[in-house]
Amino acid sequence: MVDQLLQAYHDSPTSGHLGVNKTWHKIRDRYFWPGMYTKIKEYVLSCTKCRQFKIGRTKPAGKLEPTEPPTGILDLIGLDFIGPVPQSANGNKYILVCTDYLSRYAITQATANCTAETAAKFLVTKVILQYGVPKQLLTDRGTHFMSHVFEAIASRCGVNHITTTTYHPQCNGLTERFNATLVGSIGTYVNQQQSDWDDYLPYATFAYNTAKQSTTQMEPFKLMYGRDALLSFDTPRPITQPPTINDYYNQLNQFLQQAKSTVWYNIKQ
């Protein structure tokens, strides 16, 4: 039973071969057995794929972020391209990454290029049309983000586009740290030719979003949606009497307000 849990919550694509603490938190919130942290630590540290790709083994990066954390979700998001990486069988060579600076929630997409048009389309279809307009968008000064096309579409959508030089040349550290985690996670699943990495991108992103983050002490998914994600290998939840709409709204609103305050404080530390 324990070995099956370890394989599910660490090895599966939706678990992402993440580090000791993230794996422990994910299992601890669902199961308990004596000495579980020690067992989980031994399992993760002995994982051949984790050792090969050095996931969670390096010293954490410094907080290269705005000095004042945002107070709300989508108050500040970062956008960045990863790549070029080995071209996939689907013709993709880049990963476009959006991260929310409060919840740490990440949105990703495999792309064939890193043009301004691709970035603008992603911003509209994958971010704005699904989550609403962010108050501020932080990017580096790459030509794809500084082009007239991208600037015009961002402005038309009501997005305040700022660049890393507004704060510090390395201020987009949150996105860069996520990029390293994402690439390492995907690397544990790809074939020898690395031609199927984009097949695993959604799984690796989900694994990250459903893992408790060391800075916020909360899962990005829970902060974004106000509930825990049910994983495919979780014990089925019992069917309970649903609350009234008003009760559900009040409970959700209270949780999100408290969670945002707690996360803001944790980031500030």
Vertex 18 angle, CA 16 and 24, to 5°: 120
Residues 6 or more apart whose CB falls under 8 angstroms from that of 47 comprise 10, 11, 17
Read off the DSSP letter of residue 111: E
CA-wise closest residue to 159 among 114, 216, 107, 98: 98
CA distance 62 to 249: 38
Residue 150 has pLDDT above 90, yes or no: yes
Q: Which CATH architecture has domain 69-268?
A: 2-Layer Sandwich (3.30)
Domain ranges (residues) in the chain? 1-56, 69-268
Question: What is the per-residue pLDDT across 161-206, written as a single tens digit (0 to 9) for each?
Answer: 999 864 454 455 677 778 888 999 999 999 999 999 999 999 999 9
pLDDT recorded at residue 62: 45
Question: What is the per-residue pLDDT across 5-41, written as a single tens digit (0 to 9) for each?
Answer: 999 999 999 999 999 999 999 999 999 999 999 999 9
Q: Is 93 helix (H, G, I), strand (E, B) or coil?
A: coil
Residue 229 has pLDDT above 90, yes or no: yes
In this prediction, what percent of the chain has a pLDDT beyond 90?
77
Question: What is the per-residue pLDDT across 130-139, written as a single tens digit (0 to 9) for each?
Answer: 999 999 999 9
Query: Which pTM value belongs to this model?
Result: 0.90
CA distance 125 to 127: 6
pLDDT recorded at residue 63: 46
pLDDT recorded at residue 241: 83
Give the DSSP letter string of 161-216.
Answer: EEEGGGT-TTTTHHHHHHHHHHHHHHHTT--TT-TTHHHHHHHHHHHHHTS--TTT
